[in-house]
């Protein structure tokens, strides 16, 4: 039996009858609903719900989107993503569509149901090991992004993902940004694998740990650069990505993504105390990836980015399921704070 959360009529933002495409709240709500639509597409497939019994379509049709194509994993045939096409009614004037996308590529996270759990957990492990970019699922997603951008242009395409799906968006967005293409991207509860420093209550202790970690990481980074130094000056890899500022949506009660809060806020604090140079080196690397690189293996820290507009949901969370869930992001009365962090 389907849960209440799968029905748009029971859980969706029914109040959003008219979308203001220049409103950050409306953009966030629609993007989150499209990601939810991908979750329900896979649940419909698993439960063999078709035609009038399918629960997924209202999650995009309510906002005048059509399903252009499902993205299917070649290992287990699960639906992990979808391409949606915006089809506004003729009654919409051009002005009201300013800021709207033509196409949205959306990606779901892990589903804890037998039909897809094994493959999803396998990809979660690849993510933890910084190896998601070597999986066939990501290759399918990346090809879909490239094809869509080539066909309609980067300004007409949005990316959106939740949890594991947001890691896919992070990778795809970084890959396109390296080529000078900056896609509008919505990353809901993106995974950040690190010691749970953000859960420490003492601000002084947190800052002390982060400062020490930054100094060690920056020192190891300099050592690695000296080891691999060539005659040509090495470019700053973060500088090439800095113009891409995806929208990150995190919840402090979600230990999977909450370290992004400390990652960006600590960088700002280091700049304020005159230690920006140390942090510019440290922010590009994790200790884990540096140690793996020292052993001669490739280990780009896939979760680290130079710039982002980070939105924190400070609304009290009932439990971890709510804090990490996609449903929180279309609520009408959220306690949000947002800040743009630019790499300098």
State yes or no: pLDDT of 291 exceeds 50: no
- pLDDT average, residue stretch 332-340: 94
**Banded model confidence at residue 232, pLDDT cuts 50, 70, 90:** very low
Query: Which of 24-38, 200-214, 295-309, 330-344 has the weakest average pLDDT?
Result: 200-214
**Banded model confidence at residue 240, pLDDT cuts 50, 70, 90:** confident
Query: Which of 15-19, 59-63, 145-149, 278-282 has the weakest average pLDDT?
Result: 278-282
| The pLDDT value given to residue 128 | 84
State yes or no: pLDDT of 117 exceeds 70: yes
Axis crossing angle, helix 114-128 with helix 24-47, rounded to the nearest 10 = 130
Interatomic CA distance for residues 256 and 295, integer angstroms: 27
Q: Is the dihedral of CA 127, 128, 134, 136 positive or negative?
A: negative
Q: Which residues have C-beta within 8 Å of that of residue 49, sequence separation ≥ 6?
A: 2, 43, 55
- pLDDT average, residue stretch 157-176: 97
Query: Which of 47-51, 137-141, 221-225, 329-333 has the weakest average pLDDT?
Result: 221-225
| The pLDDT value given to residue 295 | 47
Percent of the chain with pLDDT over 90: 63
| The pLDDT value given to residue 263 | 86
Axis crossing angle, helix 259-272 with helix 203-227, rounded to the nearest 10 = 80
- pLDDT average, residue stretch 237-242: 80
| The pLDDT value given to residue 206 | 60
| The pLDDT value given to residue 287 | 44
pLDDT tens-place string over residues 66-104: 999 999 999 999 999 999 999 998 877 655 678 899 999
Cα→Cα distances 219→103, 259, 264, 336, Å: 44, 22, 20, 36
Percent of the chain with pLDDT over 70: 75
- pLDDT average, residue stretch 169-183: 96
State yes or no: pLDDT of 226 exceeds 60: no
Query: Which of 92-106, 129-143, 305-319 has the weakest average pLDDT?
Result: 92-106
């Amino acid at each position: 039996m389907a849960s209440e959360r799968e029905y748009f009529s029971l859980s969706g933002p029914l109040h959003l009858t008219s979308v203001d495409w220049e409103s950050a709240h409306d953009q966030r709500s629609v993007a989150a609903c499209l990601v939810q639509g991908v979750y329900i597409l896979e649940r419909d497939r698993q439960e063999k719900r078709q035609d009038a019994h399918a629960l997924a379509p209202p999650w995009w049709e309510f906002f005048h989107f059509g399903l252009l194509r499902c993205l299917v994993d070649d290992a287990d045939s699960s639906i992990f993503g979808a391409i949606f096409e915006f089809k506004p009614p003729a009654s919409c004037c051009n002005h009201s569509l300013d800021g709207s996308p033509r196409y949205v590529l959306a990606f779901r996270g892990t589903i804890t149901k037998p039909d897809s759990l094994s493959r999803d957990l396998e990809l979660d492990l690849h993510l933890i090991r910084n190896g998601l970019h070597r999986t066939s699922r990501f290759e399918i997603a990346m090809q879909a992004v490239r094809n869509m951008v080539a066909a309609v242009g980067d300004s007409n395409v949005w990316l959106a993902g939740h949890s594991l799906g947001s890691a896919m968006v992070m990778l795809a967005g970084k890959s396109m940004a390296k080529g000078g293409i900056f896609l509008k991207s919505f990353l809901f509860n993106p995974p950040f694998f690190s010691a749970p420093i953000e859960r420490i209550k003492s601000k002084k202790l947190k800052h002390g740990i982060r400062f020490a970690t930054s100094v060690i990481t920056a020192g190891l980074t300099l050592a690695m650069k000296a080891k691999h130094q060539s005659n040509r000056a090495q470019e700053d890899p973060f500088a090439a990505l800095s113009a891409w500022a995806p929208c990150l949506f995190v919840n402090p009660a979600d230990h999977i993504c909450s370290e992004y809060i400390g990652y960006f806020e600590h960088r700002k604090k280091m700049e304020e105390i005159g230690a920006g140079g140390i942090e510019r080196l440290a922010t590009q690397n994790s200790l884990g990836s540096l140690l793996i690189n020292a052993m001669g293996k490739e280990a780009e820290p896939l979760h680290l980015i130079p710039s982002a507009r980070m939105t924190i949901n400070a609304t009290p969370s009932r439990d971890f399921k709510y804090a990490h869930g996609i449903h929180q992001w279309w609520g009408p009365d959220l306690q949000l704070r947002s800040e743009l962090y630019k790499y300098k």
